[in-house]
Structure 1
Amino acid sequence: MADLESRLDRQSPAYQRNREQMLALLSDLSQLEQRAVDRSAQAAPAFRKRGKLLPRERLEALIDAGSPFLELMKLAGYCGIENPDPATSVPGAAIIAGVGQVCGVQCMIVINDAGISAGAMQAMTAQKVMRCQEIALANRLPFIQLVESAGGNLKKYRAERFVHGGGMFYNLAKLSAAGIPVISLVHGSSTAGGAYLPGLSDYVVLVRNQAHAFLAGPALLQAATGEIATEEELGGAAMHASVSGLADYVAENDREAIIQVRGIVSAFGWAGKEDARAGAPPRYEAQDLLGIMPADYRVPVDMREVIARLIDGSDFHEFKPDYGVATVCGYGVLLGTPIGLLTNNGPLDTAGSTKAAQFIQLCSQLGRPIVFLQNITGFVVGRAHEEAGMIKHGAKLIQALSNAGVPRLTVLCGASFGAGNYGMCGRAFKPDFLFSWPNARTAVMGGEQAAMTMRRVAENSARRAGTLPDSAALEAESREIIRTFDLQSSAVHTSSLLLDDGVIDPRATREVLGVALAACTRSAKRDVHPIQFGVARF
């Protein structure tokens, strides 16, 4: 290993500008995320009256005291169908989700935020839950769901939402069959399709006089059949524990129910295999990450400065440093876990693509997870590069990336443009986790480049027609293209569409990657026993 030597000048005007912009973006992000927390907390009087814990209080009671909780997809659904107004839209899709430790075991935890519209399903709720299920399945994480939801909003019914939502139940069956325990704790309503959340779980805990699970609630039942029954008669905890057999455990209140869930996880016997290794801290402060990335993505930056503030001891063994120099890759250790790192100091060219492809294969041979730090404007273009075989060399990288048999984690640190997004393990290439910094931009190209391209197309078309281009119209079109690209490429927008697993503070990148790496690497130590079908309830 070789120590990375930082050349960062914290006193330079450029660093200070970058830092101020990043802090402003983080302030905006914090306010958005807090909006969901505050909205849920407004339900406190109603929850207290019924003797119930608020959703985030349930989370706090569930995870081990003092352990980190990596919350995912906090911006899901922001400015979506329910409310497109940026000033009032509440992000999160009424779901609290993330990776947390329960009795020494890392688990995927999904909680209906019943403090927001009674936990009713929103446009991105099912997609957010399904993404969590995919992560749990890939990494053998026990899947814990704390259920309390008013179900779907029939006033805002969408056919596609109903159809795609069935994937939540498909995934639960797959988790159980893969030997990954699924635990449901029902705090309140679990109606219609939501009843299959506990129905497809391996362990079910219901809270007495609070939990209700049924395919049709009293109103729908009466409308459909004329039968009249109370919620308790139809699907209360007592009935399900003694008659239907849906409930394995009944608790008297939320806190007792959570204690029972912790007992279930403890009985797996997986604790002790989950110990994380410590690592020497980087030699440079995480605070520096606020000012490294340029406010203008077209300004070059040495991504080794980022690596130096992430890996243990800032010790980095660079691979082929003199070949394909715009592509940086090498070996390091992060919180005790050996990893490969791959990033960019320029576009991907033929040499960089072949180097990256070879490096990915070497990491696969070693069984090392790969961390991709994206700051990429795309693959290089031009006649000389086409003649040099850019297409086939880029294809080597795509082949290696698509078939790498090791965990892959991606952080969008700056630009993520064009096919560079693909070649550096963007969302379509199914990284185990993908996070964005607040300044990250994701698009087929930059807005100015798109506007210039369309302007030249229009000008050439006018010339072929023997007319003069309308300069005023072209200028207006260019401004609109830039505005559209700026809006749709922002980290807040892409994260609201679940194109990442969350926007994170650059200063927290090492810790976030540490939790994510642990989720990916500890799974090999878990003694799971796949069966042909998920465990059926009897």
Structure 2
Amino acid sequence: MTSTADLSGTLRSALDPTAADFAANRAALLARIAEIDRAHAEALAGGGPEYVARHHARGKLLARERIELLVDEGAPFLELSPLAAWGTAYPVGASVVTGIAVVEGVDCVVVAHDPTVRGGASNPWSLRKTLRADDIALANRLPLIALVESGGADLADQGEIFVPGGRAFRDLTRLSAAGVPTIAAVFGNATAGGAYVPGLSDYVVMVEDRAKVFLGGPPLVRMATGERADDESLGGARMHGTTSGLADFVARDEVDAIRSVRRVVARLGRRRLGAEPGPVDEPRYDAEELLGLVPADARVPFDPREVLARIVDGSRFDEFKPDYGTSLVTGWADLYGYPVGVLANARGVLFSAEAQKAAQFIQLANRADVPLLFFQNTTGYMVGTRYEQAGIVKHGALMINAVANSQVPHLTVVLGASYGAGNYGMCGRAFEPRFLFSWPNARSAVMGPDQLAGVLSIVARQAAAAKGREYDEERDAGLRHEVSTRVVRESVAEFLSGRLYDDGVIDPRDTRAVLGTCLAAVHSGPVRGADGYGVFRM
């Protein structure tokens, strides 16, 4: 059944929580959530119990404990990329914690090294995760707070870190030049390249008798120059506070350092450049029901209006062109008091009408300076002789052009499938949405696993026929199985999130809260639409 709206624009749900398929869907999604939770637990464990205990025994706080003290009481912390490096040789979480926090009433980006994982040393995925946090800070004009305790780059991986790692230095200077404050609190080591994090920050807090900031530690100095130096005289907090001038504040302990950071933020005089939110009212339907909405079989479509009814304010949705291009739902809503434009896949395939409808709607949102929410569940644009002759290429290009050149903030959630160019047209990672999150059941690849394996099989058959060779059916079956299995493995939410193709895998029940946090963040900066577009092929 399809949900509808009454004359006031309030969505009426057709979902039946007592139905058998609802229970089956709920059980399947809860199982996927449990799998994601286990992956998250690996990141939360840091370097493991031994290293956590050793860190605490030294009187030090863990990365997330520092963040908990930093964030305003009762305010949320939206952790970003918690599954970074999943499925690789590196620890899940990539030895750094990043996210959006409210500090003294100001939305900030936080980057905190996890010293229980190889001393907080940076590996290739740590770098990617940190650079993503820098991008978010700059795009949304959010102050960047670095909680530093790191030995710098993991030297075993220097070949993959050294050259791209320079961008982290560049980002700090560009943030400052753009008027986005940067604050570093140093709790322990900040050596070698890591010394430039405080060196390039606007404000620096260092913990007495704990923080050490130097380009080369005592062993390196001795090897390079023959000088024998101790940690304190070479780079201790007191020395930097009294002699070099690098430290703006020398804290007595970690709690005092966090207090100093909060006072710096309080004195920044930050003001939001976007719109203030209007009145907020809760959806009329329970977010818990989202668990039974998504079919266990990813090939079965579902009505995104049912999702919207459990996410947007008051379950109110003013649909745009409801009877045209019906595979794509477009319309206007509010979320936590912020006006938004919505594009959501109703059925997997995008046709020419949907592409044209989307392009017009995106232009309208840009004219009105309204952020756009993309809810992906698409198998891509339609193929076949009839559709090619009707112009699916140029119409799909029209939609992609509109998305690519739109200037209002984009927020994307992958609800289910995200295949082919549909991923692009619905603002996938390559199109730089301000934020992108996935539900645990999300899948993304160039096409479905069976389709991809079948295409390769057809190509192989044609090649064999062209050469007059007999086709090996047994080998073909093995090839199809191998390809299909690999595509399935590489298209699941954990794999994609591990490679930072999203900003996190979220519980569907948290979607409203996550998007609300993101909308508050994007309105820290100006929200303005595009003044023009590239050439639209009509």
TM-score (norm 1): 0.93
Structure 2 match to 1:208: 208
Q: How far off its partner does 1:277 sit?
A: 4.8
Percent identity among equivalent residues? 48
Q: Does 1:51 align with 2:66?
A: no
User: What is the total number of aligned residue pairs between the two structures?
Assistant: 517
Alignment equivalent of 2:41, drawn from 26, 34, 38: 34
Structure 1 match to 2:390: 388
Q: How far off its partner does 1:94 sit?
A: 0.8
Query: Bigger shift: 390-399 or 256-265?
Result: 390-399
Residue pair 1:104, 1:272 contacting (<8 A) in 2 also: no
Structure 2 match to 1:70: 78
Q: SS where residue 148 of structure 1 aligns?
A: strand
Q: Deviations over 1:60-100 (max 9, x none)?
A: 11000100110000000122233xxxxxxx31111111001
Unpaired runs of 5+ residues, structure 2, are: 1-7, 528-538
Q: Deviations over 1:122-143 (max 9, x none)?
A: 2201110111011000111000
Question: Taking structure 1 as reference, are residues 172 and 468 closer, same or farther at Cα in structure 2, changes over 3 Å only?
Answer: same
Once residues 278 and 25 of structure 1 are traced to their aligned partners in structure 2, the CA distance between those partners, rounded to angstroms, is: 35
> Which AA in structure 2 matches 1:244?
S
Q: SS where residue 39 of structure 1 aligns?
A: coil
Structure 2 match to 1:237: 237
Q: How far off its partner does 1:365 sit?
A: 0.7
Residue pair 2:151, 2:192 contacting (<8 A) in 1 also: no
Once residues 521 and 187 of structure 1 are traced to their aligned partners in structure 2, the CA distance between those partners, rounded to angstroms, is: 32
Pairing 1:425-444 to 2, within 5 Å after superposition: 425-444=427-446
Q: How far off its partner does 1:521 sit?
A: 1.3
Structure 2 match to 1:253: 253
Once residues 142 and 121 of structure 1 are traced to their aligned partners in structure 2, the CA distance between those partners, rounded to angstroms, is: 22
Structure 1 match to 2:149: 148
Once residues 459 and 315 of structure 1 are traced to their aligned partners in structure 2, the CA distance between those partners, rounded to angstroms, is: 53
> Which AA in structure 1 matches 2:375?
L
Q: SS where residue 344 of structure 2 aligns?
A: strand
Structure 2 match to 1:220: 220
Structure 2 match to 1:331: 332
Pairing 1:101-250 to 2, within 5 Å after superposition: 101-154=102-155, 156-250=156-250
Once residues 456 and 524 of structure 1 are traced to their aligned partners in structure 2, the CA distance between those partners, rounded to angstroms, is: 51
Q: Deviations over 1:472-518 (max 9, x none)?
A: 11101000011110011011001000111011000000000000011
Q: Deviations over 1:343-377 (max 9, x none)?
A: 11231111100100000010011111100000010
TM-score (norm 2): 0.93
Once residues 352 and 171 of structure 1 are traced to their aligned partners in structure 2, the CA distance between those partners, rounded to angstroms, is: 39
Once residues 182 and 352 of structure 2 are traced to their aligned partners in structure 1, the CA distance between those partners, rounded to angstroms, is: 46
Once residues 522 and 39 of structure 1 are traced to their aligned partners in structure 2, the CA distance between those partners, rounded to angstroms, is: 32
Once residues 102 and 478 of structure 1 are traced to their aligned partners in structure 2, the CA distance between those partners, rounded to angstroms, is: 52
Q: How far off its partner does 1:271 sit?
A: 7.0
Q: How far off its partner does 1:40 sit?
A: 4.9
Once residues 46 and 181 of structure 2 are traced to their aligned partners in structure 1, the CA distance between those partners, rounded to angstroms, is: 32
Query: Bigger shift: 418-427 or 285-294?
Result: 285-294
Question: Taking structure 1 as reference, are residues 41 and 487 closer, same or farther at Cα in structure 2, changes over 3 Å only?
Answer: closer
Alignment equivalent of 1:486, drawn from 445, 470, 488: 488
Q: SS where residue 356 of structure 1 aligns?
A: helix
**4+ runs of 1 displaced by more than 6 Å?**
271-275
Residue pair 1:103, 1:271 contacting (<8 A) in 2 also: no
Question: Taking structure 1 as reference, are residues 427 and 300 closer, same or farther at Cα in structure 2, changes over 3 Å only?
Answer: same
Structure 2 match to 1:15: 22
Query: What root-mean-square deviation, in Å, do the aligned CA atoms of Structure 1 and Structure 2 show?
Result: 1.6
Question: Taking structure 1 as reference, are residues 180 and 204 closer, same or farther at Cα in structure 2, changes over 3 Å only?
Answer: same
Once residues 451 and 51 of structure 1 are traced to their aligned partners in structure 2, the CA distance between those partners, rounded to angstroms, is: 55
Once residues 364 and 296 of structure 1 are traced to their aligned partners in structure 2, the CA distance between those partners, rounded to angstroms, is: 36
Structure 2 match to 1:534: none
Once residues 52 and 343 of structure 1 are traced to their aligned partners in structure 2, the CA distance between those partners, rounded to angstroms, is: 46
Structure 2 match to 1:531: none
Residue pair 1:448, 1:482 contacting (<8 A) in 2 also: yes
Q: Deviations over 1:13-62 (max 9, x none)?
A: 32222211111111111111112222357334333333222221111110
Question: Taking structure 1 as reference, are residues 276 and 411 closer, same or farther at Cα in structure 2, changes over 3 Å only?
Answer: same
Pairing 1:445-464 to 2, within 5 Å after superposition: 445-464=447-466
Question: Taking structure 1 as reference, are residues 510 and 399 closer, same or farther at Cα in structure 2, changes over 3 Å only?
Answer: same
Structure 1 match to 2:97: 96
Alignment equivalent of 1:516, drawn from 508, 518, 522: 518
Residue pair 2:184, 2:205 contacting (<8 A) in 1 also: yes
